[in-house]
Every structure is written in C-alpha cells, then in structure tokens.
Amino acid sequence: MKIILLGPPGAGKGTIAKALMQFDGSVQISTGDILRSAIAAGTELGKQVEAAMAAGDLVTDELIMGIMEQRLQQEDCKKGYLLDGFPRTIPQAEALKELLAKLGEKLDCALELDIPTDVIVDRLTSRRTCVKCGEIFNVKYKPPAVEGICDVCGGDVVQRDDETEEAIQNRLQVYNDQTAPLVEFYRNGGLLVSVPSSDIDDVMAAIKSRI
Ligand code: AMP
C-alpha cells in the first residue's frame, strides 16, 4: 500500500501505521521520528530543527522535502509505505506529487483520521514516552508499573517537550492553519478516504473498500 495518513497530532496516525505494516510489509515513514532521531544523535539536522519542534512549529518545507526525496527512494519503500506526518503543507503535497510522478509511483489513498479536538488534547497531555526505546505510555490508561520508569527497557519515561498543554495548543493551531487544507487537496484529487475513528477495524474496512 502507498498511503498518506492525515489527521491532527494525537489522532492515532502512528498507531494505525504500525498496525497496517503487519498486513503487507509496507514501511511506516514518520518525519517526526526521523527528526527526533536526528536531535537525539546531535546531528547538524537535529540542531537545526530542535527549537521549532519543541515549540510545536513546523520545520521548513525545503528541509522536509530533502529528507523525503532520499527516503522514498530507499529499497524498503518498494513494498509500499505509510506516510505518517508528511505531507503537512500544501507546498509539501505539491512537491510530493511531482516527486511521485518522477518516480513513476501512485498513491492508493490519503486516509484522514477525523477525531474531535477534545479527545486529542486529553490524549496528548496524558501521553508519556520512554526516552530510550520510544515506548508510549498514558498516565490515565496505561501508566508504567513504576512511575517514570519504562516497563520495556528501564529508561526514563517523560512528557515530550511538544506535548505540554501550551505546545499542543500551538500544534493544533498549526494543524488547522497549514495541514487541514490537505483534506480538500486530496478530496479534489480523488484520493481522500475519511474515517471518523482511529479504531483499526474501522480503518481497515475503509481501506479495503478503497483498494
Ligand atoms: P509528529 O511526530 O509527526 O507530530 O512531528 C513532530 C514535529 O516534527 C512537528 O511538530 C514538526 O515540528 C516536525 N515535523 C514533522 N513532520 C513534519 C513535516 N512534514 N513538515 C514540517 N515539520 C514536520
């Protein structure tokens, strides 16, 4: 499958991508994960994007397109890919369209997870992440057995800088201003599939009816 996952931060794009990977070996490509790894590794790219990410702002289209142009040509993309967090602006969507035309590839669909804002804010402010292995916890629904310590690897479990109440409000604003117009963009392109849920069975049913 070649799918774009659309939806606000906290809609469940990463979880759905991981579940979809099981079906046909498509790879999840999360631009957020790529950038967080660069920050953790202290690379030049990491230093360039650190402040914007902590504030919940977007990094530049040029930078993201440079990363994605290389990533989409790697061998593991041949079986398909699930784009999680990309594209995020109309210029990125236009550039992706050109890139895919150049590579002779076609998307199956742009899958919109349409989740109410109050659910998202609650989900994101209670989310905690292991700094070592990336395991996700939730202080309300899935706390670690020992507070602040990862059940999987023993690493520190913390609230991400961009998951504080203030950063989340900014991320939602950025989503509404810059990313939400992509729903119309892909609807007009005949690629939009909208699912009012992040339940994997609902999502699979919507995808099957489409592919
Ligand atoms: P995510 O994990 O997808 O929520 O991304 C975390 C942060 O990484 C975002 O708030 C942005 O700062 C940055 N980011 C990720 N993907 C993109 C993108 N496609 N365009 C611009 N910034 C991005």
Q: Where are the domains of the chain?
A: 2-26+79-210
Are residues 83 and 20 in contact, defined by beta-carbon separation less than 8 angstroms? no
Domain 2-26+79-210 is in which class? Answer: alpha beta
Nearest to 45 by CA among 67, 78, 73, 24: 67
pLDDT at residue 28 is higher than 90: yes
pLDDT at residue 211 is higher than 80: no
Tell me, using a 6 A CB cutoff, whether residue 35 lines ligand 1: yes
pLDDT at residue 199 is higher than 90: no
Active site residue 47: no
Q: What is the distance in angstroms between the CA of the first residue and the CA of the last residue of the chain?
A: 8
**Residue-level pLDDT at 208:** 81
Shortest-distance atom of ligand 1 to CA 53: 12
Find the catalytic residue in 160, 187, 208, 210. 160
Tens-place pLDDT, residues 58-111: 999 999 999 999 999 999 999 999 999 999 999 999 999 999 999 999 999 999
- Name which residue leads in pLDDT, 56 or 73: 73
Question: Residue 55's pLDDT band (boundaries 50, 70, 90)?
Answer: confident
Question: Residue 117's pLDDT band (boundaries 50, 70, 90)?
Answer: confident
pLDDT at residue 160 is higher than 90: no
Tell me, using a 6 A CB cutoff, whether residue 46 lines ligand 1: no
The mean per-residue pLDDT over the stretch 145-160 comes to 96
Tell me, using a 6 A CB cutoff, whether residue 9 lines ligand 1: yes
Averaged pLDDT of the chain: 93
Shortest-distance atom of ligand 1 to CA 52: 12
- Sheet of 192-195, strands arranged across: 27-30, 81-84, 2-6, 109-113, 192-195
Q: In terms of pTM, does the model score above 0.85? A: yes
